[in-house]
Structure 1
């Protein structure tokens, strides 16, 4: 797993975060005390600065109602496909816009999906999939190579699990709807988030080889089926549903935003 990937600026994200933490006056994580009180208090001790969480900031589906736009037309096609699937049966797959996967990694994910026998919707820009994969899964799965309205998809009643890189925004979007997670991290903070989510039992991390970090189609298949359909994964589904109460509580998280604004007003010197 890459932990210091450089971006277009040539500076790693780890360096940027460390520099920002050193130079800032207050740390404002996208979190809340109800979820991570111990970690938030640890941040205060480590950096000797105020830590004021801003809440989880769960987005609202209603905010994405772009009627008449290209995105709305795409949603009509997507929702028509989702409407034909059984309730809580579809695996939604998306690995974010920044993480990249090798051809081998994409191949193992694809073949794992195929072996699982589960219906799936895969938001994927990279066209390099195993030869014949889309033909063999035609009717059961859909590979979508345009922009996908992720929040709308996650909120659809046919979606029963989310295969994700564990980007924090994506995790929040999924858990506010009580969706269990199949987690496949690739770089930076994703591995830490994945382990924390696994410890909370809202999903499982796809097993990797401890030596080279690789994973297999069989491990993808087993993880998908366990979390989405098998009796042995019921605890993950129930825990994810339970967590939706916290992750989807907009009133609670709006209070955190208000408290953060109060802190800025009371404690920060704003130059005019």
Structure 2
């Protein structure tokens, strides 16, 4: 009887063992990799930039006394552009995907233009010379933007923002009227810092945790300045206007 029971057990267990042998091997459980730490934009930064500035300056005659208005230009275009460079410093705060901050910057430039025109006042020929020269340009502005996923293989993350604030520029405005003959006439020159404002947009890309590439374009408008060219009883006034665009590209180092 024992032999009979043992034989039946072997016969019943055989197919189950064969089926188990045919099952594919079970894969080992895969543990999730830890997420890469998010790149934070908060903190101080310092950087340098190159700049291009295009100024749409002009001089507009406001009045004339003792001089025939027809002998003077009513308007002189002083449009000019040039390259320069400078530095910036700022601080950013990040809350979620929103980043806000303040930045101050200063650019050294040499952007200027002069215009000359000829006219006749009675027996005299008049030459009017008007010029505008911009040498320094600075801003103090705020900005707010959003953090975006990487826009390029070598970029950890990107920040796209809008910006605006105060502007100031050192500009020399000059005007002179030369009488031929005898070669003298009213003249005036003034050099100083003109206030204004800027608005624009830009983007910043994190190349490494401490190094980022930045670029922005701003529209600026500076306060007008009026020069009065006076000599004896002759007096001529010109109002100088300066506005235009400045584009910058640079590198920031974060602390």
Is the TM-score greater than 0.5? Answer: no
Smaller-chain TM-score bracket: under 0.3
* TM-score for both structures, normalised by structure 1: 0.18
- Point out the structure with max Rg over C-alpha: 2
* TM-score for both structures, normalised by structure 2: 0.19
Higher helix proportion (structure 1 or 2): 1
Higher strand proportion (structure 1 or 2): 2
